[in-house]
Amino acid sequence: MTHPHFLCTGLIRRRQILAAGVGSTLMASSLGAQAQGNFPSQPIKIVVPYSAGTGSDALARTVAQGITDKTGKVVVVENRDGGGSLIGTMAVAKAAPDGYTLLIAANPMAIVPAGQSQPQYHPVSDFVPVAKVGVIPLVLVTTKSLGFKSVGDLIAYAKANPGKLSYGSSGSGTISQQEMELFKQAVGIDIPEIPYKSTAQAMTDLIGGTLSVFPVVVPLVAQHIQSGRVSALAVFDSRRSQLLPDLPAISEQVSVPGYVPTPVWYGFVAPRGTPSQVISVLSDMINASMDTPYAKTRLAALGAQRITVSNEQFLADLKAEYEKAGVLAKKLGTYK
């Protein structure tokens, strides 16, 4: 028979062990809360999955400067170009979820994996939305010699001459291809795609008349529209561009059930598992930086428009675009 003294001693020891475990847990939670409370206590890195000089790069540097100006905190921008944005995106997906590594994301973040049966990342489950901050619409431009004055002119000509026109894109998995293909399906026209490695070459062919149609972001085409070298028909958005206020939104000219144009959007995301308190701090910092006079000037120069949406809406938008891109890839036969 076990002596009562040993039973009592065993119970005391088990209680001490349990108390020590609870104490350690509480201490770890306390330290974690303190670390989050002091966030950020070291430089924040924004990874741009494209080369310097792109819209993503310009916006990332604008936000980095704005945060530093307002808070004194150091924010560095790192360009990780390659793989059609895959290299930089994967680097952030694998980074520590501590808030010190962010990705500036745009449409390809959702479009690229949607066209793959075994994607290397998922835009929703591998990342946490931090802030969706701006959009730059694509402009539907045509070569001057066609004489189109409206989207209606383009549709009528394309229906009367199927396959005769051509449109330029940046290739599979890009927003220019996605928007043009969805537009074609919505209005029932046949305009074959010509993929280009550079926007500059596509623009040269458009001005020269060897390319018929080109969906391109506002800042890269505004000067050609204003000089009269190309004809602009609409912006792929549900509202007009501040840089081209006289140009109608495509939704003003095309009303087809289920067709909703998507502009090029920009936002910031963090690795999955980043604490919600840290996300909240980052979101506040980024949004505050976007509302500085410096940022507003930079946005205007880029032809970008400021947007403010909740991170819940940002997440819903990511899901919707991912699903839409997957359906389109299967229709086009580009799903791998």
Q: Name the least confident of 76-80, 151-155, 174-178, 248-252.
A: 174-178
Cα–Cα distance for residue pair 254/140, rounded to 1 Å: 13
Q: How far is CA 292 from CA 19, 189, 286, 300, 331, in A?
A: 50, 44, 11, 12, 43
Quickly count helices (H) and strands (E) in the chain: 11, 11
Residues 140 and 215 sit within 8 Å (Cβ to Cβ) = yes
| Distance, CA of 281 to CA of 53 (rounded, Å) | 28
pLDDT for 211 equals 97
Please state, for a pLDDT cut of 70, what percent of the chain lies above it. 89
Does residue 288 have a pLDDT over 60?
yes
Q: Which two tokens stand for residue 295?
A: 């940022």
CATH number of 138-252, picked from 3.40.190.10, 3.40.50.150, 3.40.50.300, 3.60.20.10: 3.40.190.10
pLDDT band at 55 (very low <50, low <70, confident <90, very high): confident
Q: How confident is residue 219, by pLDDT bands cut at 50, 70 and 90? A: confident
Read off the pLDDT of each residue in 156-177 and give the average, rounded to a whole number.
93
Alpha-helical segments (H) within the chain:
4-37, 55-71, 86-93, 108-114, 151-160, 175-187, 199-208, 218-226, 276-290, 293-302, 311-332
CA 108/CA 265 separation, integer angstroms: 10
Mean pLDDT of the chain: 88
The full set of domain ranges for the chain reads: 44-136+264-329, 138-252
Cα separation, 99 vs 97, whole angstroms: 6
pLDDT on residue 29:
41
- The model's pTM: 0.83
Q: Is the pLDDT of residue 22 over 50?
A: no
pLDDT for position 313: 97
Residues 301-331 pLDDT 10s:
888 889 999 999 999 999 999 999 999 989 8
Q: What is the pLDDT of residue 336?
A: 83
Q: Among residues 128, 45, 89, 104, which one has the least CA distance to residue 311? A: 128
Whether the per-residue pLDDT at 139 is higher than 70: the answer is yes
Contact (Cβ atoms closer than 8 angstroms) between residue 225 and residue 232: yes
Whether the pLDDT of residue 170 is over 90: the answer is no
Domain 44-136+264-329 in CATH 3.40.190.150? The answer is: yes
Q: Is the pLDDT confidence value at 44 over 80?
A: yes
Same fold? 44-136+264-329, 138-252: yes
Nearest to residue 63, comparing CAs of 291, 311, 336, 313? 291
Is residue 205 scored above 50 in pLDDT? yes
Around 9, how many Cα atoms within 13 Å sit in the side-chain half-sphere? Answer: 5
pLDDT at residue 13 is higher than 80? no
pLDDT for 334 equals 82
